[in-house]
Amino acid sequence: MNYEKNLPTKQDQEKKIPRIPRKNGNQRWPQSNFSQKTKRQTLPISIGLAFTKAMHLRKRFEYNKIRKTGKKFYGRALCFQFIYTNSPLPKLGITVSRKFGGAVKRNFFKRRVREVFRKKQSLFPTPIAINILPLERAKTATYEDFLEDFDRLIEQELTKEFIEEKEIELVKG
């Protein structure tokens, strides 16, 4: 049972090579393309096409403020809750419960809504904060259905209220 009976007590020391810092100090090893870190090429993105973090509703109090004091507009597949803000950018929040479906369905819905918002954000007349909720029809709705709902929101609600506000300002001023 003496397995370690004939082992030497001194271990062999590895032969150390003194390291001399050089410009290409590791030339004896081949360089692979994968080991080198390269900077990503970034394309210039105009703010009109981007959906930046500043455009996300993030805090609970923001959602609560929209829910309590905001206005509602129902499309065919989406329910919009919105308020006007002092923010220079429109903001978007998406609320999808587990009742809508599994994680894959919920994330697919959110990606579609974010993309439609990104494309339509330049058409909003004023800075606005929107929370979007899916209706039952959203489960089978297409991308075009979401586009129609956003167009209807912009045409029927936002531009009408924007024109009314401007008329009130013109009458006062």
Average pLDDT over residues 4-10: 67
The domain that holds 78 is classified in CATH as 3.30.230.10
What is the reported pTM?
0.65
As for how many domains the chain has, the answer is: 1
In-domain check, residue 61: yes
**Is 166:129 a contact under the CB 8 Å cutoff?**
no
Three-state DSSP at 68 gives: helix
Give the range of the structural domain holding residue 113, as residue numbers without chain letter: 53-172
- Please indicate, yes or no, if residue 137 is contained in any of the structural domains: yes
Does residue 3 fall inside a structural domain? Answer: no
| In a domain? residue 28 | no
Tokens 């950018």, residue located: 89
* CB atoms inside a 10 Å sphere around CB 85: 16
Please determine, for residue 136, whether its predicted confidence score (pLDDT) is greater than 90. yes
Rounded Cα–Cα distance for residues 90 and 128 (Å): 5
In a domain, residue 130? The reply is yes
CA 121 to mean position of chain CA atoms: 14
Domain-located, residue 71: yes
**Short-list 139, 155, 159, 138, CA closest to 76:** 138
Instruction: Report percent pLDDT > 90 for the chain.
Output: 46
Average pLDDT over residues 68-75: 93
- For residue 17, being part of any structural domain is answered with no
Looking from the CA of 91 toward its CB, the CA atoms found within 13 Å total 20
The top-scoring range by mean pLDDT among 14-18, 42-46, 167-171 is 14-18
| Domain-located, residue 104 | yes
